[in-house]
Amino acid sequence: MDEIIRWEIIALVEKIPESYLVPVLESMSVQIPFVSREFHSDNGSEFVNHVVAQLLNKLLIRFTKSRPSI
């Protein structure tokens, strides 16, 4: 979700291997009408593999992981 204009895309994948995750991330990236600077996963890093991390890095998108609720 964008913090300023509240643009949000929610995507679900059947499984977490890269063969499921990467196509969804690529699809999401073209739907966003502005430059993405950060990607947050509500699960820990065990749910984001190296291919996804490389894709985010290639797109210059910072990756953040779960953090405690306030």
- pTM of whole model > 0.85? no
* pLDDT recorded at residue 34: 80
What is the span of the domain harbouring residue 54?
Answer: 1-70
Query: CA-to-CA distance for 4 and 11, rounded, in angstroms?
Result: 20
Query: CA-to-CA distance for 10 and 24, rounded, in angstroms?
Result: 10
If one counts every other C-beta atom within 10 angstroms of the C-beta of residue 31, the result is: 9
If one counts every other C-beta atom within 10 angstroms of the C-beta of residue 52, the result is: 19
Token look-up 């609720």 returns 69
User: Confidence class of residue 51 from pLDDT cuts 50, 70 and 90?
Assistant: confident
* pLDDT recorded at residue 54: 80
Q: How many domains does the chain have?
A: 1
